[in-house]
Structure formats: C-alpha cells, structure tokens
Amino acid sequence: MDTTKPTSLFTGKRIFAVAFLFFYVVISYIDRVNLSIAGPTIAKHFHWDAAQMGWIFAAYLWTYDACLVPSGWLADKFGVRRVCAVAISIWSVAAMLTGAATNFATMTLARLGLGVGEASTFPVSNKVIRQWVPAGERGFATGIYHSGSFISIALTTPLVAWVVLHTGWRTSFVVFGAMGFVWLIFWLRWFHPPEQCPWLPEEERKYILESRDGTATTTQATAARQSGTGSAFRVLIRQRSMWGLFLAQGCVNYTNYLFLAWLPTYMVQVRGMNLMKAGIYTAIPYFIAGILEVGLGKASDRLLTPLEVRQGKRRNHVATLLLASMIVLLINVLNSEAAILAVLTVTLACNTTVITYMYALTSDLVEDPRMAGTAFGILLLGGNLFGLCAPIVTGYIVKSTGSFSSAFGLAAGLALIGAVVAITMTRRPLRPMQTADETLAVTP
C-alpha cells in the first residue's frame, strides 16, 4: 500500500473539510452560549432566580442528549451531508425563536428545539474527520475544528454583550440564529465525502483513503467493512473501552458546561464586573485556550507513533491534562483579576484540549469507520449527561451557599476521576461487529 504523503494538511484540499467543521462549530457555539451572555439580563427581565436559570441553561441538553446517539446513527446511515443540512436548519430556527420567548415554558421549548438540532454537531464532525483525515493528522485536525468552540466564544462574547446592551436580548437571538443558513448554502454547494468529492485531486483522494485507518492491514480493514450485521450500538456498548470513553468524557464535559453556563454570571455577581467587562474577561481565556488547543493537538500527533495511536496511547495525554485542569481550585483563593484570568485560561486550555484528545482517541480506537458516528454519539452522550447536570447543580449550589467555591471543587474532583478512568478503561480497540467478542488487550 502506497501511502506517500502528497501534501500537508494545510496545503492539501482536505483542509477545506476541516474548515467547514470549524465554522459549523463556531455557529453552533454562538447559538449555544448566546443565552449565557444574555442570562443576567433575561433573569432580571423575567424575575428568575439562580435555580430557575440553571434549568433554562440546561434545557437544551435534555433533547441534545436524547438525540446524540440517533444523530450519529443517522450520519452512519444517510451520510453527514444530509444530516448536517437538516440539523443546522432546525437549530437556527430554534435559536431565532428564543428571541420570541414570553415566559419560562416558551423559553424552555425553544431551548429544547436547539438541542435537537445541535445534537449532531460533534458526532457528524468527528465522522467527517474519520472520513477525511489520515490517522497521523487526526489530533491536529480535530484541534483545528474544535478550537472553533472556544474561539467562537472568545470573539462573539463581547459582540453578543454589545448587541444585548444596545438592541436588546431578543434581537441577539434573531441576528445570530440566522447565521446558520449562510453556512448551509456553502455546505450544500461544496461538501461531499472524499470518495465522491469532485474538487479533490486524485492523488490526495488516494492518500486519504489509504491512510485514514492508520496502519491497519488490508485484511483487517476489509473484515471491518464486511461486518454489516448486527447493531453497532449493541456491539459498542458491550466493550469496556466504550464505557471508559463515555465516563471520561462526562468528567471533562462537566467543567466545560459549568463555564459555558455560569462564567459570565460569576464575573458579574462575584467579581462585581459590568456585563461588557464580564464579556471581555470571559472572551480572553477562551481565545487563548482555543489557540493552545490547536498547538497541543499537533503535539499529540507528533509524540505518538502509528503503533501507539492504534494502542490508544493518546489516553496518557488525556489523563495528564485532566490532572492539570484541577488548577481551577485556585479560583477560590485568588483576589487578583489578572491571576483569576490566568487560572481560567489554563483550566480552559486543558479542558478543551482534553476534549480534542478524547475525540481523537475515539477515532484511534474505532476499527470500523461505519461505526464511527454511533461511537461518537455514545461518547458525547456520556459527556452531555454529566454536562446536563452542571448548570442545574451549580445553580442549586450557588442558591444554597451563596458561593461558587463548592461548584469549582466538584469540577476538580471529577477531573481527577476522569484521569483515572481514561488510564484504566480505554486500553482495548473498539472492534467491529463479528470480532467484538474476540478483542484482546492492547499492550499498555
């Protein structure tokens, strides 16, 4: 098999597939965090307390979680092109309708609709990476597209805050919700799988198709593709590594959603900032973290040999950064705004890079590309079941204690648990259907 690298990721056409995902995630996160920026204004408008806002923040995760595995399965069955088009249409309409909410019930319904659409975001994005990116570039490519989540927050948080202050919170949902339809036009015009893409050079197409399964032998790859009977979900859920990925992702995502929902409110209520300053102080660590995520993703690829990728050694990188993210505990004892900004930056950089590594680790372990969408759906379900709890639990902690200290302590404790789970429970490949019961331990 000739897998000579004809071009780098940046000089090859495959970078356009990654760019599509980057902007897909950017738009997703604008619509996702718009509520957190407008949260203090909305709470004042409707006279809602912290516990009520916690339920509103978490509402979209109910349908988001319920639709994660089905959206991955739909991507496996019907292709990412169709699923993405339908999904972004649903969530854009729901985001715009949030601006028309008149009470707790209608706000909740709009957020539920947002969750239905956005559930596809990461299952299909990671399936695209599995289709388009050779194994040796996977961490780097994942870091690029996933950095869109934090860069989106960084660049749009001050902008959304400005729109809320000058035109009202309702306008912000309508304006930013409409952005998804612009992306959709380009997606339907240009995106296709590499096997069918008309603008992909033949040499690069050959390289992608021969290199995306790592160093698996032709016999192994053929066997994986012929394993068409049975349920991918049933096969994956019986494997220890899938449960390890599921639980570790949950521990990571708890902190992610705590910050997404409550960080601007923390800055306003605890640190005494106005909404605009809170937007800027939220944006800075997210922007720096997004940049660091890309570099650390590249570093992970460089540090791993092809054999180590297949053995799941990226789990060591996951555990290391999870432990480093426990620095969030220092927020409870710091008074300097500069020091708090530094701690938030380190915490967020570790957190978002771990998410990148988790996606890449799942790609590393999935032997059958036809199971990738379902595997990512299960992975993300674990993350978002924990994530669903974060806004609600934090709301009740703040309401009962008047402080965020215990909320940050809980996030640090989960990071420690996640590191242990990643090291001990992700040591076997995710085997295809007829070979799942024959899975042998991979050498640590």
**Cα–Cα distance between 352 and 146 in angstroms, integer?**
8
CA separation (Å) from 129 to 12, 123, 209?
A: 14, 10, 12
Half-sphere exposure of 72 (CA within 13 A, CB side): 27
For residue 217, what pLDDT band results from cuts at 50, 70 and 90? very low
Segment 47-69, tens digit of pLDDT = 888 778 878 877 887 898 889 88
Average pLDDT over residues 123-140: 89
Question: Over the stretch 79-122, which tens digit does the pLDDT of each residue have?
Answer: 999 999 999 999 999 999 998 999 999 999 999 999 999 999 98
Q: Could you tell me which of 245, 270, 286 has the C-alpha nearest to residue 408?
A: 270
Helix, coil or strand: residue 119? coil
Cα separation, 117 vs 115, in Å, equals 5
Interatomic CA distance for residues 290 and 294, integer angstroms: 7
Q: Which of 135-139, 142-146, 213-217, 257-261 has the lowest mean pLDDT?
A: 213-217
Rounded Cα distance, 235 and 435, in Å = 10
What mean pLDDT is predicted for residues 210-238?
A: 60
pLDDT score for 5: 60
Distance between CA 132 and CA 14 in Å, rounded?
7
- Locate 298 and state its tokens: 């590249």
Could you give the CA distance from residue 217 to residue 27 in angstroms, rounded to a whole number? Answer: 39
Which tokens is 95 given? Answer: 């985001």
Question: What residues have CB less than 8 Å from 44, skipping those under 6 apart?
Answer: none
430 beta partners? 366
Q: Per-residue pLDDT for 267 more than 60?
A: yes
Residue 440: pLDDT band by 50, 70, 90 thresholds? very low
pLDDT band at 248 (very low <50, low <70, confident <90, very high): very high
HEC profile of 222-233:
HHHHCCCCCCHH
Per-residue pLDDT at 152: 82
Please give the full DSSP string across 381-435, using - where no structure is assigned: HHHHHHHHHHHHHHHHHHHHHS-SHHHHHHHHHHHHHHHHHHHHH--S-B--GGG
Residues contacting 185, CB < 8 A, separation 6+: none
Summary mean pLDDT of the chain: 85
Q: Determine contact, residues 139/297, Cβ cutoff 8 Å.
A: yes
* pLDDT at 222 exceeding the cut of 70: no
In this prediction, residue 392 has a pLDDT band, given cuts at 50, 70 and 90, of confident
Which amino acid type is present at position 43? A
pLDDT exceeds cutoff 90 at 20: yes
pLDDT value at 433 more than 80: no
Q: 285 pLDDT exceeds 70?
A: yes
When pLDDT is cut at 50, 70 and 90, the band that residue 4 belongs to is low
What residue type is 283 in one-letter code? Answer: A
d(CA 136, CA 62): 35
Question: Across 170-260, where does the E strand assignment appear?
Answer: none
**Most confident stretch, 17-26, 136-145, 163-172, 205-214:** 17-26
Q: Name which of 8, 83, 16, 26 is nearest 376 in CA terms.
A: 83
Residues in the chain: 444
Q: Where are the domains of the chain?
A: 15-210+231-426
Reply yes or no on domain 15-210+231-426 having CATH 3.40.50.700.
no
Q: What is the pLDDT of residue 6?
A: 65
Mean pLDDT of 316-334: 93
Q: Average the pLDDT over 256-281 and give the result.
A: 83
Tokens 């992909």, located at residue: 200
The Cα–Cα gap between 55 and 50 comes to 9
CA dihedral sign, ordered 46, 49, 55, 57: positive
The band of 229, judged by pLDDT with boundaries at 50, 70 and 90, is: very low
Give percent of the chain with pLDDT exceeding 70: 92
The answer to whether 114 touches 91, Cβ cutoff 8 Å, is yes
Token pair recorded at residue 414: 């989960």
Structural contact between residues 364 and 305, judged by C-beta atoms closer than 8 angstroms: no
What are residue 387's DSSP bridge partners?
Answer: none
Cα gap 27→180, rounded to integer Å: 6
